[in-house]
Structure 1
Amino acid sequence: MRRRISCHLVASRLLFVLLSLAVLPLAASAEEGPVGPWLQARMREHAAWFSYQGSGEARPGGALGLWRERPAGETGLPAFVPPTSLAPLIRAVEAGVVNITTVSPRDSGLAGMKRSTGSGFVLTPDGLVVTNSHVVSGASKIAVRLSDGREFSAEVVGRDASTDVALLRLSGSEMGDLPALYLGDSDRLEVGDWVVAIGNPFGLDHSVSHGMISAKERVLGVGQFDDFIQTDALINPGNSGGPLFNMKGEVVGVNTAIISQGQGIGFAVPINLVKDLLPNLRENGKLTRGWLGVIVNDDRESAERRAPLVKDVYQGSPAAAAGIRSGDRLVAVNGRTIGSYLQLLRKVALLAPGTEAKLTLLRQGTTQEVAVRLVERPAQEAAEGLVQRVTSDEDLGLTLRDLTPEVAAPLNQVAWDGALVSAVSPRSPAEAAGLRMGDVVTEVNRKRVKDAAGVRAALSKGSSGASILLRVKRGDSQQYLAIAR
């Protein structure tokens, strides 16, 4: 074959030389006409093509200038290792994947019991197992079988329907040390990472499928804690509750849902969300939501990912005790970066009351950390009475706060020497006038004010429709700003 290709190449080159000699007089005679330049261009292209044959060099742009090709022997994409076999990974982790069988009363009052199957994985050597909440919901009997054939009865330690996560405890003789799996870091997953799902679809023990991460932070409309990993690894009925592994053999998700209309679209709960929830389920048996006590900008409609901005702080709340104040940006919770209102809600609400959380704040360009001990979320009506919001006039879009000694000291301001602007509503009269968060209002219509109540009292004396003249301290400078009502 190689000899035939070589002979063909020699013949092609000889034909090219003969054609070149034949068309030279024609090209010369048509030098002034339209044929000459076209013919010369084609000759140059053919000459370039022949010059690259067998040279092993790259042809930048190709012979016709339409594409790029790598030179022979180039390694290709950096840091990319094509997968070969997943067998060693599967052998290392499959012992920790379990089959779950439940017996529960039939729906709608029908006689008899129904039997269902699902999947799960061993969390601790002493018998804690993670699965989906819907797998064990309403079950009167739960049996868990390991890959080595051992079977144990199980009871629900805690479960939460909003995240579809449940924690079970096995019981029985000869349990010994169970093959607990390692948990990974789902925040480090990237779209395109390879993953493996192991479970018991349709009752078929330890079926394996593989694919990649298709998307992160998918919202399916299940609840306020929607934060699903999307994967094209096949997930079928019976896979629910089984683990999703990365290429290190670490659990990075709990397989939880499928879209029946789609092909190869599956979803998993991120393991970092499960990590936050597990202590809550173990201690309380359900999701008892922790409460920080702040009001932040709800950026759910914004495409821009930014750390949530604190608008107000509730009196007597954990946030107030930790010194968090209006204007702070909440950058991270327990070292995990947050970039939206929903991320803050998930990370705080999943932590049990009494948990001490470490919050990272951004305040006037400076990063600092504070420790906050969360409490149980109060009833909504009780929380409404705790807010420290002092708004001078709702129509102005201006939120003010007293310059107490605790507030004034970090800002290098004099206590009770005006009212601090803690928030300015977008597209409001206050924003149009040029007011900014961090400004200190010292006068209203030429009258001195010392706190937010003084600003409100001065505004109430103004005429309807008249402009409001504010004297504002910004840094080391003073200026007057007029707000149109």
Structure 2
Amino acid sequence: MPPIRRSLPFLLLFALLALMPALRAGAQQRGPLAPWLEARAREHAAWVEDSTRVRSGPMGLWREWVSKEPMLPGFVPPTSLAPLIRAVEAGVVNIKAEGTTQDPLRGLARMSNTGSGFLLTPDGLVVTNNHVVARGDSVAEEIVVRLADGREFPAEVVGRDSSTDVALLRLMGQGLTGLPAVYLGDSDRLEVGDWVVAIGSPFELDHSVSHGMISAKERVIGVGPFDDFIQTDALINPGNSGGPLFNMRGEVVGVNTAIISQGQGIGFAVPINMVKDLLPNLRKNGQLQRGWMGVVIDERSQVGTPQQRAAVVKEVYPSSPAAQAGLRVGDQVVAVNGRQVDSYQQLLRKVAMLAPGTEAKLTLVRGGAQQEVTLKLAARPAQEVLAAMASPGNLGELGLLLRDLSPEVAAPMGLEPYEGVLVSGVTPRSPAARAGLRTRDVVTEVNRRKVKDIAAVKGALEKGAGSTVLLRVQRGDVQQYVVLEP
């Protein structure tokens, strides 16, 4: 190609660049032409720069990277994982657990499990899987933990939770100081494709190492209500259970817990951030005492991004922690204790991991503006109580849970159907509790109006005047009037 033709693109570029100051100065007088020329100049500059790094194949069918500069800035291919493994393997332990369990067919049966774990603190707290040290309601009677240096210690269960398959152990005996505890990382920052290393004792092969990458996050595999697994192709086998999954910084980002027996290269780990939320609960209560805010959440698609979900408050239970903190219907919960929430399931997991009495800081979006509120979580009520609270018979402002006297409800109690409304629950310290109402009481009148179902009770309350409510209540063969003062 003649030199002049070869240099034409560069001459054109220099001409456009020389014109740019003048184009900017006269943009108002020249209309939309100046911005268009500026954009073309930038595109040409990018083309010239790219042409020094990329070469096209015949007919432009493919591209080749010819520059000595890295094609993927920030990517450094690993050469050897040996330094990382040497730094962290001392914190990985082997666990043997033995005891007896109740078998429904054979009666008492021997339980013998092996697994892995890791040292959480220098004084001997160890994290492992629940299924390593327990089977159903039966906890192993003898647990022996062997460190990487060969020392063995008996251990006891501090707390465990089958729904997340996490257990916290405490080593016992002499020499429990300065143990090689691991560091925990941030599993929320993991990305698909990040390198990870699993260390454990598969098939009792002590301190075996496998490596791979994060294959997926937030996997639901049907193990329990808090399914939120990290999927990895690092080889995980029986005996790896409870062992750590390390990132490339040497931090534990997951607890290896499950495999799919029919598949190869598919393993699962509990995210370490979930474990962090759970550990204080296990240490204090010995089991998962689930926190409760007192809201019903509606999961919606976010405007403009239907693939992303939002946790929006649909209902706030009266007198609940959420009500006392000022949450309202329509609030969108976007974070709990500074950690992002994108769905109902994430919100449920983050709150349920926190013990009752824990203060939780919620980040909300209300009316387009972001704000923070702090509430103290209560103990999660039993499922039947929650169902009652969500029913039309929940008069939260009075502290009453009511139920219609349908024939199915009335017959076992020897009552006539729809001759009043049954009190099925009374909230402690509520107006109903202060007035002495009890479960199995039957409300027959509200503010001097006879009632036969819950709809009639609500209608009578709406028509009532004043702040007090007058009820006529039948208790056994006795009828009496009761005054409720909200």
TM value normalised by structure 1: 0.66
CA deviation after TM superposition for structure 1 residue 223, in Å: 1.4
2:268 aligns with: 267
In the alignment, is residue 317 of structure 1 matched against residue 320 of structure 2?
Answer: yes
Q: Secondary structure at the match of 1:309?
A: strand
Q: Secondary structure at the match of 1:326?
A: coil
Q: Secondary structure at the match of 2:58?
A: coil
2:252 aligns with: 251
Q: Secondary structure at the match of 1:103?
A: strand
In the alignment, is residue 103 of structure 1 matched against residue 98 of structure 2?
Answer: yes
Count of equivalent residues: 340
Counterpart AA for 1:357: A
Counterpart AA for 1:369: E
Q: Secondary structure at the match of 2:308?
A: coil
Distance 1:126 1:303, change over 3 A: farther
1:64 aligns with: 59
Q: Secondary structure at the match of 1:244?
A: strand
Structure label with greater radius of gyration:
1
Distance 1:313 1:214, change over 3 A: same
CA deviation after TM superposition for structure 1 residue 177, in Å: 1.7
- Equivalent runs, 1:297-336 vs 2, <5 Å: 297-298=298-299, 304-336=307-339
CA deviation after TM superposition for structure 1 residue 383, in Å: 3.6
Counterpart AA for 1:73: K
1:88-132 CA distances to partner (integer Å, 9 max, x unpaired)? 111111010000011123655478745321000001111110000
1:392-418 CA distances to partner (integer Å, 9 max, x unpaired)? xxxxxxxxxxxxxxxxxxxxxxxxxxx
Q: Secondary structure at the match of 1:125?
A: coil
Looking at structure 1, the residues matched to 376 and 53 of structure 2 have their Cα atoms a distance apart, in angstroms, of 62
Counterpart AA for 1:325: R
Distance 1:76 1:321, change over 3 A: same
Looking at structure 2, the residues matched to 69 and 295 of structure 1 have their Cα atoms a distance apart, in angstroms, of 55
Looking at structure 2, the residues matched to 253 and 190 of structure 1 have their Cα atoms a distance apart, in angstroms, of 13
CA contact (8 A) 1:228 1:268 kept: yes
CA deviation after TM superposition for structure 1 residue 73, in Å: 1.9
2:192 aligns with: 191
- Equivalent runs, 1:397-408 vs 2, <5 Å: none
CA contact (8 A) 1:162 1:225 kept: yes
Q: Secondary structure at the match of 1:152?
A: strand
2:128 aligns with: 131
Looking at structure 1, the residues matched to 292 and 172 of structure 2 have their Cα atoms a distance apart, in angstroms, of 35
2:374 aligns with: 371
CA deviation after TM superposition for structure 1 residue 254, in Å: 0.0
1:253-305 CA distances to partner (integer Å, 9 max, x unpaired)? 000000111111100000000001111111111111100000111459x9732
**Deviates further, 173-182 or 240-249:** 173-182
The structure 2 residue matched to 1:350, chosen from 353, 360, 365, is 353
CA contact (8 A) 2:300 2:312 kept: no
Distance 1:61 1:336, change over 3 A: same
In the alignment, is residue 201 of structure 1 matched against residue 202 of structure 2?
Answer: yes
CA contact (8 A) 2:54 2:67 kept: no
CA contact (8 A) 1:313 1:387 kept: no
In the alignment, is residue 179 of structure 1 matched against residue 180 of structure 2?
Answer: yes
Q: CA RMSD in A?
A: 2.5
The structure 2 residue matched to 1:380, chosen from 378, 383, 400, is 383
Looking at structure 2, the residues matched to 387 and 453 of structure 1 have their Cα atoms a distance apart, in angstroms, of 19
CA deviation after TM superposition for structure 1 residue 75, in Å: 1.9
Counterpart AA for 2:78: P
Looking at structure 2, the residues matched to 336 and 114 of structure 1 have their Cα atoms a distance apart, in angstroms, of 39
Looking at structure 1, the residues matched to 84 and 259 of structure 2 have their Cα atoms a distance apart, in angstroms, of 25
CA deviation after TM superposition for structure 1 residue 72, in Å: 4.1
Q: Secondary structure at the match of 1:308?
A: strand
Q: Secondary structure at the match of 1:306?
A: strand
CA contact (8 A) 1:312 1:387 kept: no
Counterpart AA for 2:237: N
**Deviates further, 168-177 or 331-340:** 168-177
Q: Secondary structure at the match of 1:273?
A: helix
Looking at structure 1, the residues matched to 156 and 344 of structure 2 have their Cα atoms a distance apart, in angstroms, of 35
Looking at structure 2, the residues matched to 255 and 89 of structure 1 have their Cα atoms a distance apart, in angstroms, of 18
Task: Name the structure where strand makes up a greater proportion of residues.
Answer: 2
1:358-381 CA distances to partner (integer Å, 9 max, x unpaired)? 000000001000001001011234
In the alignment, is residue 157 of structure 1 matched against residue 158 of structure 2?
Answer: yes
CA contact (8 A) 2:160 2:167 kept: yes
In the alignment, is residue 94 of structure 1 matched against residue 89 of structure 2?
Answer: yes
In the alignment, is residue 84 of structure 1 matched against residue 79 of structure 2?
Answer: yes
CA contact (8 A) 2:113 2:133 kept: no
CA deviation after TM superposition for structure 1 residue 57, in Å: 6.2
CA contact (8 A) 1:315 1:387 kept: no
1:466 aligns with: none
- Equivalent runs, 1:1-12 vs 2, <5 Å: none
**Deviates further, 374-383 or 148-157:** 374-383
Q: Structure 1: which 5+ residue stretches go unaligned?
A: 1-55, 392-451, 458-485
1:445 aligns with: none
**Deviates further, 218-227 or 112-121:** 112-121
Counterpart AA for 1:280: N
CA deviation after TM superposition for structure 1 residue 76, in Å: 1.7
1:217 aligns with: 218
2:282 aligns with: 281
2:412 aligns with: none
CA contact (8 A) 1:287 1:350 kept: yes
1:295-334 CA distances to partner (integer Å, 9 max, x unpaired)? 111459x973222110110000000000001010001000
Percent identity of equivalent pairs: 69
Distance 1:364 1:299, change over 3 A: closer
Looking at structure 1, the residues matched to 186 and 286 of structure 2 have their Cα atoms a distance apart, in angstroms, of 25
Distance 1:288 1:61, change over 3 A: same
